[in-house]
Structure 1
Amino acid sequence: MTIPPEFSLIYRHFRPLAAPGALDLRDDAAVFAPPLGRELVIAADAMVAGVHFLPDDPPETVGRKLLRVNLSDLAAMGATPFGYLMTTAFPRGIDDGWIARFAEGLALDQGLFSVGLLGGDTVSTPGPMTLSLTILGHVAPGRALRRSGARVGDGVWVSGTIGDGAFGLRAIRGQVADDAGFLAGRYRLPEPRVALGQALVGVAHAAMDVSDGLVQDFGHICRESGVGGVIEAALVPLSEPTRAAAAGEHALLPFHGGDDYELIFTAPEDAAVLALGMPVTRIGRVVDAEQGVRLLDATGGAIDLPTRGWSHF
Structure 2
Amino acid sequence: MSEFSVIEQYCTALGASHSGTEIGVGDDAAVVAVPPGMRLAVSVDSMVEGVHFFQDAAPNDLAWKLLNVNLSDMAAMGALPKWATVTLTMPQENHLWLADFSAELHRAATQAGVQIIGGDTTRGQLNISLTIMGLLPKDDVISRSGAKPGDDLYVSGTLGDAALALAAIEQRVALSAVQRRVVEAKLHRPQAQVALGQALLGFASAGLDISDGLLGDLAHIAKASQVSVEVNADAVPVSQVYREYQNAGGDLSLALAGGDDYQLAFTASAQHRDSVLAQAAKLGVEVTCIGRIVPLSSTPVVVLLDGKPAPELSHSSYQHFD
Gaps of 5+ in 2: none
2:163·2:260 contact (CA, 8 Å) conserved in 1? Answer: yes
Deviation at 1:22, TM superposition (A): 7.2
- Give the distance between the partners of 1:24 and 1:273, measured in 2 at CA: 37
1:39-69 deviations in Å (ceiling 9; x for gaps)? 1000111110111112211110101100100
* Residue number in structure 2 paired with 1:240: 240
Aligned letter for 2:132?
A: I
- Give the distance between the partners of 1:91 and 1:218, measured in 2 at CA: 37
* Residue number in structure 1 paired with 2:72: 72
Aligned letter for 1:29?
A: A
* Residue number in structure 2 paired with 1:284: 291
Query: TM-score scaled to structure 1, two decimals?
Result: 0.93
Deviation at 1:171, TM superposition (A): 3.2
* Residue number in structure 2 paired with 1:112: 111
Aligned letter for 1:110?
A: A
Query: TM-score scaled to structure 2, two decimals?
Result: 0.91
- Give the distance between the partners of 2:76 and 2:176, measured in 1 at CA: 29
1:151-192 deviations in Å (ceiling 9; x for gaps)? 000010000000011112223345431533110000001110
2:23·2:32 contact (CA, 8 Å) conserved in 1? Answer: no
Q: Secondary structure at the match of 1:275?
A: helix
- Give the distance between the partners of 1:287 and 1:307, measured in 2 at CA: 18
Aligned letter for 2:249?
A: G
- Give the distance between the partners of 1:22 and 1:120, measured in 2 at CA: 16
Deviation at 1:34, TM superposition (A): 1.3
Q: Point out the more displaced range, 15-24 or 38-47.
A: 15-24
2:302·2:309 contact (CA, 8 Å) conserved in 1? Answer: no
- Give the distance between the partners of 1:130 and 1:250, measured in 2 at CA: 34
Query: How many residue pairs get matched?
Result: 307
Alignment of 1:209-220 (within 5 A): 209-220=209-220
CA distance 1:291–1:272, shift in 2 (3 Å):
farther
CA distance 1:299–1:145, shift in 2 (3 Å):
closer
CA distance 1:300–1:144, shift in 2 (3 Å):
same
Deviation at 1:299, TM superposition (A): 4.2
* Residue number in structure 2 paired with 1:296: 304
2:256·2:314 contact (CA, 8 Å) conserved in 1? Answer: no
2:232·2:307 contact (CA, 8 Å) conserved in 1? Answer: no
Q: Point out the more displaced range, 113-122 or 240-249.
A: 240-249
Identity, in percent, stands at 40
Deviation at 1:213, TM superposition (A): 0.6
- Give the distance between the partners of 1:36 and 1:310, measured in 2 at CA: 39
1:42·1:137 contact (CA, 8 Å) conserved in 2? Answer: yes
Q: Secondary structure at the match of 1:144?
A: coil
Q: Point out the more displaced range, 167-176 or 232-241.
A: 167-176
Match for residue 273 of structure 1 among 270, 276, 279: 276
Match for residue 168 of structure 1 among 146, 165, 168: 165
Deviation at 1:250, TM superposition (A): 5.0
- Give the distance between the partners of 1:184 and 1:145, measured in 2 at CA: 30
* Residue number in structure 2 paired with 1:55: 55
Alignment of 1:181-192 (within 5 A): 181-192=181-192
Q: Point out the more displaced range, 299-308 or 151-160.
A: 299-308
- Give the distance between the partners of 1:264 and 1:306, measured in 2 at CA: 18
CA distance 1:233–1:118, shift in 2 (3 Å):
same
- Give the distance between the partners of 1:36 and 1:231, measured in 2 at CA: 40
Aligned letter for 2:90?
A: F
Deviation at 1:245, TM superposition (A): 2.4
- Give the distance between the partners of 2:315 and 2:51, measured in 1 at CA: 18
Q: Over aligned residue pairs, what C-alpha RMSD do you find? A: 1.7
2:83·2:132 contact (CA, 8 Å) conserved in 1? Answer: yes
1:211·1:258 contact (CA, 8 Å) conserved in 2? Answer: yes
2:156·2:264 contact (CA, 8 Å) conserved in 1? Answer: yes
- Give the distance between the partners of 1:150 and 1:43, measured in 2 at CA: 22
Deviation at 1:259, TM superposition (A): 0.6
Alignment of 1:194-233 (within 5 A): 194-233=194-233
